[in-house]
A and B are shown apart, each in its own frame.
Chain A
Amino acid sequence: MIPASFDYVRPQSLEDALARLGEHGDDARVLAGGHSLLPVMKARLADPGVLVDIAGIESLSGISESEDGITIGAMTTHAEIEASASVQGRCRSLAEAAAAIGDVQVRNRGTLGGSLAHADPAADYPAVILAANAEITVAGADGERVIAADDFFTGTYETALGAGEIITSVRIRASAARGSSAYLKAAQQASGFAVCGVAARVALDADGAVERIRVGVTGVAATAYRATSVEDALTGAAPSAESIRKAAATAGEGVDALDDFYAGADFRRHLAGVYAARAIGKAWIRAAGE
């Protein structure tokens, strides 16, 4: 299929882009890498009158490092994130999630901001964003605001992003001194999307006990979520393979899971437990070793 006809603008500044969005209202959609929006348009499930391409806005791209974290421009591609030494060093699970997206072509074009704004329930990043407690900076007609990860994903393809707002950057604090993270997924064989993806971020205290842990799960439910039961069970004690396995098993419990021909709800809930155990185990070993 081919999309219905539409107008296309490519502003060179954020201000101009916001103005265009204000001008066209609901008829406009922001075009980032295009890897989610264009397929939907080709299937004629979306029919925007105007595409506002933000690829020309230089300030939205790139990764910067500060003492306590990293800030990633919304238009930074998956490939750039995957290859970034800063990301690998400070939030390894994000680099792993980026590397697990689609294929080389998708990773060369698709962007962090585009993926987050689209909020596909099977996208990889949301698990990491939740586990890393990231902050999402957005700009709109009234200026900038920061949305916490826990508040960002509100439903299937739904976010806390307001009308006419554009994601400008994502900020992630660096892992703790004795901390690390990991992302693992079961990919749908055709699309590569996550049937179940789990990101775990662990900080250990001096004695090796879990000081903080956050576990994000994507692909399993209509919206990415934090497996708080798992986090609670593991916080405060020194982990073992057995305690992780036992705690992680609850990662999918009681979740209203997605159900399709490829993976039924019970299978997805089961996978959440399996992948939570594996991701936490990996993050723990890294944290203990680093």
Chain B
Amino acid sequence: MAQAPKFIGAPIKRRDDPRLIQGLAHYVDDFNPPGTLHMACARSPYGKANIRSVDVSKAAAADGVVAVYTYEETKGIGPVPVGAVLPDAKVPVQPILADKQVLFAGEPVVAVIAETRYGALDAAALVEIDYEPLDAVVDLEAAIEPGSTKVHDDYESNEAFKWGLAGGDVEAGMKEADVIVKEKMTNVRVAPLALEPRGVLAHYLPGEDKMTLWTSTQVPHKVRTLVAGQIGMPENRMRVIAPEVGGGFGSKLNIYREEALAAFVTRELGVPIKWVESRSENFLTTIHGRGQVGEIEMGLKRDGTITAFRYNVLADCGAYYQLLTLAIFTLTGLMLPGPYKIDNIEMNATGVFTNKVATDAYRGAGRPEATYILERMMDIAAVELGMDPVELRRKNFPDKSEFPFGTSAGLSYDSGDYHLALDRALEAADYPAMRAQQEEARNDGRYLGIGFSTYVEICGMGPSAALGGQGWESARVRVEPTGKATVFSGASPHGQGQQTSFAQIVADGLGIDANDVTVVHGDTDVVPYGVGTFGSRGTVVGGSAVVYARDKVRAKMAKFAAMEFEADENDIEFEDGRVFVRSAPEKSAGFADIAMMAYSAIALPEDTDPGLEETHFFEPSNFTFPFGTHIVLVEVDPETGDVEILRYVAVDDVGNMINPLLVHGQIHGGIAQGTGQALEEEMLYGEGGQPLNASFMHYALPKANRLPRFELLHTTTPTDVNPLGAKGVGEAGTIGSTPAVVNAVIDALSPFGITHIDMPLRPERVWRAIAEKRA
């Protein structure tokens, strides 16, 4: 682009919002083809049980019931796909419906198809399953003890895998240290809880031998390839549509049993089959995130230089793997050094089976775990060394001149200026004044705390080779004969707002108004084969594909314009809906006039075909590494254990911003979710493997009234990994916030001698920690 960007960087309101706010959006459940039948599942109430017998006679005889499926009728469906693999990992086969045993509460055993949703649910309640309840494996640490009750009877133990990552020499680093700090920490299991639960509508047309599968997913093409494979259908006979998707947070970056089940049943019955997840089912059967318990050791010199960092961790897999279960904790390992120069690192992970639903990608997916333990350890070390937590961090930052910065975990951080982000945050927070305020409050018997998190994360997933395949993204840009532009993206936004930001990208390159650009995504019959939206890649990778496809179309239009104006194609400019010759601006035509030329094709430039439609598959050369500093001020009521966040200052460097409003929205939501994990969220299971808090009445989500006004600032360090210079922002908030909030609470409680409390910092836990110190 020769001219300054007009739309890129502008805070344009999301064009999705009016339809979302007015209830005019169409989610899976809003589609009701004539003749739709409804599916409901009878599910295990036990963490583990033998199935002695299944009697479906009453259910089958119930009013409006059309069909009932058990393991026997569905065993031909391929198992739930496992995408990420590790050498020597035990990989249990996850059936579509349970056969002889159920291994987690919520596991489906029988599917009932009925004329109405109510009828299907009523009939599912009539299925008689004779269970023999067995001891369930719930506790991660107990599960790995020799002689523990087992999740899988045919494995020797509950060990799913061992995986390690090492850089430098940790033993030598520990020897070099003056001080070694140790702590055991937990990243509890949390539920992603997208506002729209999962849902699927499958419609097979026998005459055409074609199926349309509407599903609430982040990865429609993966669903198509894998589900078609599961039911033995050529994938090009299946069309997968991700309509409006009400959030995912990673939980819809997956292939679930009900998708294959609905696809199988519609092919059997030849009518549309719909299943919409209830919130209860969402808690039980949609993947969970986090789930790590580990011991951390960090060696430091007296001056604060970190010499070694070790993390020995148990990772909770659940009973079966989902698509990326085996990949998540490897991201923890890769981000172990964080934003610091740590030459010697080591992570030893043991995967553990438990009688629970699988863990998998949840907003941040492995990186929040790494950032949490590292940032907590930085504060623990600062106390131990008698250093200010800010100075300890600063001491270990690489300088901006050291980028690209190679880490001991084997990554190359693209660009960064960690000191600048920290400085900006300290200034915005007025750190000295904050400390003074804390001191004053303490003198009044009040407990204020200041928490830091200086983070770096890995985004823009990512180079294909590094991801084990499919790290690219696709886009097609078409300039229509009337001069409107349409973007077909292989990414699959589900709340991120790329219908707006991709339009901004195309509008700038073509010199047209953003309102003249329509963005289409989430339909495998319409968009080029794509990877999807996850890992903060939608804009970074998907948007870059849009840039290249746009530029190809622009170059072709320039040829038509050059022919028309008898000018050099390199001398053609696009601005404000006009196409003109830069050196002779009086030679000018409307953008739509040139577009029509390409379609009328009465005259064609040399070696040029008709039409204006170009596709690009963008393969990034590296990940991107956004970073920042979050500072939190809290007050803790020592009598009640209540934590109130008084201030939240965040400086996030996400590279170039396409739309600051979208960036802020992502950071707001991310901070809220990360704060939820820090203070409230935790999936709890009773001894029999039944969830104790699988409802919104029991599982606390962060609410607006618990959060302050966020003070958001930015530094901008572009990346050269992609043409936008953008680094990604989808997960920054969750990664930065969790440790910052916990660090603030622990700082508040430092007068009691408290150095660590495991999340979530619910009032009782805080009160108990104080009570123990007082005793």
Task: Please report A residues at the B interface, Cβ cutoff 8 Å.
Answer: 1-2, 4-5, 39, 44, 186, 188-191, 261-264, 267, 270-271, 274
Contact = CB atoms under 8 A, between A and B. Distances in A.
A270 B774 CA distance: 15
Contacts of B639: 274
B599 interface: no
A261 B121 contact: no
27 contacts: A1-B121, A1-B278, A1-B280, A2-B118, A2-B121, A44-B125, A186-B640, A186-B763, A188-B700, A189-B679, A189-B706, A189-B762, A190-B680, A190-B693, A190-B696, A190-B698, A190-B699, A190-B700, A261-B684, A261-B692, A262-B698, A263-B763, A264-B764, A267-B763, A267-B764, A267-B767, A274-B640
Contacts of A261: 684, 692-693
A166 B219 CA distance: 54
A263 B700 CA distance: 14
Given A190-B698, A274-B640, A4 B122 contact: yes
Contacts of A44: 125
Contacts of A2: 117-118, 121
B512 to A, nearest CB: 44
Q: Closest 5 interchain pairs by CB?
A: A189-B700, A190-B700, A191-B697, A267-B764, A274-B639
B768 interface: yes
Contact of B764 (A1, A262, A274): A262
Contacts of B758: none
B642 interface: yes
B697 A190 contact: yes
Interface residues of B, number: 27
Contacts of B125: 44
Instruction: Give the interface SS of chain A, mostly helix, strand, loop or mixed.
Output: loop
Contacts, number: 47
A148 B59 CA distance: 49
B589 to A, nearest CB: 56
In the complex, which of the residues A1, A190, A263 has the most CB atoms of chain B within 10 Å of its own CB atom? A190
Nearest to A273: B639
Interface in B690-708: 692-693, 696-701, 706
Nearest to B699: A190
A287 to B, nearest CB: 23
Most chain-A Cβ atoms within 10 A of its Cβ — which of B117, B696, B767?
A: B767
Nearest to B701: A190
Given A190-B697, A190-B699, A267-B768, A262 B762 contact: yes
Nearest to A264: B764
Given A186-B640, A188-B700, A190-B693, 20 more contacts: A1-B278, A2-B121, A5-B118, A5-B122, A39-B697, A186-B763, A189-B680, A189-B700, A189-B762, A190-B680, A190-B697, A190-B699, A190-B701, A191-B698, A261-B684, A261-B693, A263-B764, A264-B764, A267-B767, A271-B640
Contacts of A190: 680, 693, 696-701
Contacts of B692: 261
A182 to B, nearest CB: 16
A39 B695 CA distance: 11
A267 B639 CA distance: 10
Contacts of A264: 764
Nearest to A275: B640
Given A2-B121, A264-B764, A267-B768, A186 B280 contact: no
Contacts of B278: 1
A39 B700 CA distance: 17
Interface string B99-117: 0000000000000000001
A262 B122 CA distance: 32
Contacts of A271: 640
B280 to A, nearest CB: 6
Contacts of A267: 763-764, 767-768
Given A1-B280, A261-B684, A264-B764, A186 B642 contact: yes
B194 to A, nearest CB: 17
A281 B280 CA distance: 42
Nearest to B121: A2
A188 B642 CA distance: 11
Nearest to B125: A44
A213 B285 CA distance: 51
Contacts of B122: 4-5
Interface in B741-775: 762-764, 767-768
Contacts of B280: 1
Contacts of B698: 190-191, 262
Contacts of B764: 262-264, 267
A20 B640 CA distance: 47
Nearest to B696: A190
A270 B700 CA distance: 22
Contacts of B640: 186, 271, 274
Contacts of B693: 190, 261
A261 B700 CA distance: 12
B448 to A, nearest CB: 20
A2 B762 CA distance: 31
A173 B699 CA distance: 39
Contacts of B118: 2, 5
Contacts of B699: 190
A223 B121 CA distance: 35
A274 B680 CA distance: 22
A186 B767 CA distance: 13
Contacts of B121: 1-2
A44 B118 CA distance: 13
Contacts of B696: 190
Q: Count chain A CB atoms within 10 A of each CB in B117, B697, B700, B764 and give the residue with the most.
A: B764
A188 to B, nearest CB: 8
Interface in B670-700: 679-680, 684, 692-693, 696-700
Nearest to A39: B697
